[in-house]
Copies of this chain bind each other. A is one copy, B any other.
Amino acid sequence: MTAGDPLLAVHGGAGRLPRRALSRKNRAAYEEGLASALKAGWRTLRRGGSALKAVTEAVAVLEDHQLFNAGRGAALCADGTAELSASLMNGKSREVGAMVGLRRARNPIRAAGTLIGHAHGLLFGEEADRYAAQHGIEQVPQDYFRTEHRWAQWQKRRGTGKITLDHDEENAHGTVGAVARDRRGNLAAATSTGGLVNQLPGRVGDTPVVGAGTWADNGVCAVSATGKGDAFARVAFARRVADLIELGGLSAQEAAESALEEVKNVGGEGGCILIDRNGMCVLPFNSAHMLRGWIGRDGRPHVAIGPDQDVELPAS
């Protein structure tokens, strides 16, 4: 792995998967989804495209894939609707785009991308959807997001007041995200989510918060986080990881593990994917599972779910 080689990593959520979700058939479906996302991002990088475009394309595939909690197949709020949030950051310019509480944009990550370079970095609610529509982002009805599985899950929970982390549920996970490094050494990160199962509408976790769920700075690293979002927000996770590398002198792995320990100290768990400025890629987590994968020079997706699986990390 030389400095000039492009690299991409994705995640599809972290938590504890129930036994049934870990059947051979279900594992294969998750792995296929992760591999599709990696291949989509890789197509961009292989042709010399930007890291920012690569993370957008990879996340859009996971949003379109109904097994993952983002875009189609997102967890439903207590009122039965899907509210979608996403953010991305360009490590070259440190420009950001984030949208909170979208209800109509098919791909929240593309909606967030329309704010890159705009005076405003974060929009929420109705106006976020309107802005995205005005900027050519495909709009879909709420029905599009609502899968059969999600609807059944909501029917079971409705009115109970029980909020569950999506990844504690059957066949379902918390967030999706991607980090990339392109041929020119530029870094980017993107994260997207449907939130928690049965969450209060209007609730926001770390995903759309630059510095919490997403961070990218060419001089340090690109990070996308997943897990109990409120805990990640409370430690401003992604900025913390970058600062532990830049100011604390830690390696990418050490920095991520240290910041995950802080998340644990405030009652959370999860993981992140990270590529540093030297092209080192790590995918650490302190939950039982994290859907994850990476793709590099040979164009072959490497994917994993449990802690037992070796995803053959690229040597830096």
**Contact among B163, B205, B210, B266 with A233 in the assembled complex (CB-CB below 8 Å):** B210
Number of identical protomers? 2
Whether B203 pairs with A122 at a CB distance below 8 angstroms is: yes
Interface 0/1 of A235-262, CB less than 8 Å to B: 1100110011001100000000000000
Is A302 part of the contact surface with B, judged by Cβ < 8 Å? no
Give the interface residue-count category, chain A.
35 or more
Whole-angstrom CA separation of A215 from B240 in the bound complex: 13
| A202 engages B123 (CB within 8 Å) | yes
Q: Is A194 located at the chain interface by the 8 A CB criterion?
A: no
Residues of B within 8 A of A124 (CB): 100-101, 124-125, 202, 204
In chain A, positions 189-215 with a C-beta closer than 8 Å to chain B are: 199-205, 209-212, 215
Q: How far is the CA of A248 from the CA of B247 in the complex (A)?
A: 5
What are 20 A-B pairs with beta-carbon distances under 8 A? A94-B234, A100-B100, A101-B125, A120-B199, A120-B203, A121-B233, A122-B209, A122-B230, A123-B203, A124-B202, A125-B126, A127-B202, A128-B202, A131-B200, A209-B211, A211-B233, A211-B236, A239-B239, A239-B240, A239-B243
